[in-house]
């Protein structure tokens, strides 16, 4: 089966999705870095929440709102010659929201009114779904500017990564709701509705008319941007429908992440979106599937003293114990590796491209480490 390389060559956007904690950010960076070496062009990795160590691996003291180019020396130091350039940007939710308001607001006055509204400030910083939405927006904006040949996106950590995909349509639904229209209707005609009365009563007693009025005002301001939101949402959907974009589903080979990754694949298929590749991350070494070694380990575990007898005393302390631990450890890891094989078969069937990245004892600390992971992405099966 092909690796991820072909996908990177034929798409303009690769969205890295998967359950939380499976290494999406590192893989997104590795994929982008390797693309620069293998294919070239101008490649951007858009990340949401990088660890400090990843930033320093990319030669940056820290990520900011601005896009930064990774210095060429870093590639040279890692022993490769880049064919293009690697850029990194981090999503700043608040700044992205402000930019969004700026783009969609019909006039300066509305923009200022929205930015000053306490409800807006609350939405931009704490409203959970808003992170997903602006990530999608920012991605579209970067794509539209056309500065990059490939954009690799690391999606926000969501319990259900699918939230990210649904964000634009949910936002449109939200602003297009008939209730919103009612809320923002002038006061007098509002009282006449049949269905609205109980709501008004309930809402009034619950949160007071002042807050209700605040909400209404906020939505009234936002409604002036409705057209903009709809257009954008359609445009974003179009990008994903046109096969300019591909999804890379990442998972570790543990039961729960795999179940979540399968759910994600189902949802992508249901939306007729292309699962470009599935990547299994942190996979145990192949030596654990060696049957001859397994037999040796079983014999060793059963009778370590026979080896001790053969070796005699060579000044080796705790020899029997070490031999037993050596065998037990292998067999323990082997049973986990066997489970991994079963899980990987389930996942590999889901996409045209498949790659496995081996487990590392410790995190990635430099570009060479990222490129090494990227090399595995290219290999396939």
Partner 1 sequence: MLAARRGSRTLLVDIDGGGDLGHRFGVEPVRYQPTEVQPSLFAMAMNTEDSLREYLHSRLRLPAVVPLGPLGAVLDFVANAAPGVREILTVGKIAHDARERRWDLIVVDASATGHVVAHLAVPGAMAGLIPIGPILDDSAWIRDLLRDRTFTGAVIVSRPEEMAVEETIELAASLMAQSDVELAGVVMNRVLPELFSHAEETTFEALSAGSVRSVVEETVGGPIGPLVDAARLAVERRRSGAAQTARLRSALDAGVELTHVPEVWGEHVGLALTSRLADALDDEWG
Smallest gap from residue 37 Cβ to partner 1 (A): 24
The distance of closest approach from Cβ of residue 316 to partner 1 in the complex, given in angstroms and rounded to an integer, is 4
Output 141 or 290, the one with its CB closest to partner 1: 290
Nearer to partner 1, 31 or 48 (CB): 48
**Minimum separation from the CB atom of position 213 to partner 1 (A):** 11
Q: Could you tell me which residues come within 8 angstroms of residue 14 by beta carbon, excluding any fewer than 6 positions away?
A: 7, 8, 31, 150, 151, 152, 153, 245, 246, 247, 248, 276
In angstroms, the Cα distances linking 18 to 93, 251, 258 are 20, 6, 9
DSSP per position, 270-285: HTT--EEEEEEEEEPP
How far, in Å, CA of 207 to CA of 289, rounded? 62
Residue 323, φ and ψ in degrees, nearest 5: -65, -40
Q: Which is nearer to partner 1, 76 or 126 (CB)?
A: 126
Shortest separation between residue 212's beta carbon and partner 1, angstroms: 9
Q: Sort residue 43 into left (φ over 0), alpha (ψ -120 to 50) or beta.
A: beta
Least distance from C-beta 209 to partner 1, angstroms? 9
Tokens of 21: 């904690």
Q: Which is nearer to partner 1, 145 or 362 (CB)?
A: 362
* Residues comprising the chain, all counted: 381
What does the alpha-carbon distance between residue 111 and residue 119 come to, in Å, rounded to a whole number? 14
Minimum distance from CB of 318 to partner 1 (Å)?
Answer: 5
Of 334 and 376, the one with the shorter C-beta distance to partner 1 is 334
CB-wise, 189 or 313, nearer to partner 1?
313
Rounded CA separation 197/58 (Å): 58
């Amino acid at each position: 089966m092909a690796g991820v390389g072909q996908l990177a060559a034929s798409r303009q956007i690769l969205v890295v999705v998967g359950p939380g904690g499976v290494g999406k950010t590192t893989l997104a960076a590795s994929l982008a870095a390797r693309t620069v070496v293998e294919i070239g062009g101008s490649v951007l990795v858009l990340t949401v929440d990088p660890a400090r160590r990843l930033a320093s691996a990319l030669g940056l003291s820290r990520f900011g709102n601005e896009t930064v180019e990774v210095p060429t020396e870093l590639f040279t130091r890692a022993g490769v010659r880049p064919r293009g350039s690697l850029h990194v940007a981090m999503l700043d939710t608040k700044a992205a929201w402000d930019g969004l308001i700026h783009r969609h607001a019909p006039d300066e006055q509305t923009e200022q009114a929205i930015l000053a509204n306490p409800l807006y400030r609350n939405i931009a910083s704490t409203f959970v779904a808003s992170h997903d939405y602006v990530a999608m927006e920012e991605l579209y904006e970067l794509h539209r500017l056309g500065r990059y040949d490939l954009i690799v996106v690391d999606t926000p950590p969501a319990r259900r990564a699918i939230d990210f995909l649904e964000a634009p349509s949910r936002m449109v639904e939200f602003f297009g709701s008939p209730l919103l229209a009612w809320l923002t209707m002038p006061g007098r005609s509002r009282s006449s509705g049949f269905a609205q009365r109980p709501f008004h009563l309930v809402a009034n007693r619950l949160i007071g008319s002042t807050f209700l009025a605040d909400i209404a005002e906020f939505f009234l301001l936002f409604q002036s941007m409705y057209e903009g939101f709809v257009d954008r949402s359609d445009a974003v959907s179009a990008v994903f429908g046109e096969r300019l974009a591909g999804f890379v589903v990442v998972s570790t080979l543990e039961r729960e992440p795999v179940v979540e990754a399968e759910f994600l694949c189902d949802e992508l298929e249901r939306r007729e979106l292309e699962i470009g590749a599935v990547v299994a991350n942190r996979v145990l070494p192949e030596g654990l599937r060696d049957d001859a070694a397994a037999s040796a380990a079983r014999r060793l575990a059963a009778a370590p003293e026979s080896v001790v007898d053969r070796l005699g005393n060579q000044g080796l302390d705790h020899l029997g114990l070490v031999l037993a631990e050596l065998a037990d450890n292998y067999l323990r890891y082997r049973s986990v590796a066997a489970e991994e094989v079963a899980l990987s078969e389930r996942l590999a069937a889901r996409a045209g491209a498949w790659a496995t990245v081996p487990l590392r004892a410790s995190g990635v600390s430099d570009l060479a480490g990222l490129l090494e992971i990227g090399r595995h992405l290219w290999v396939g099966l």
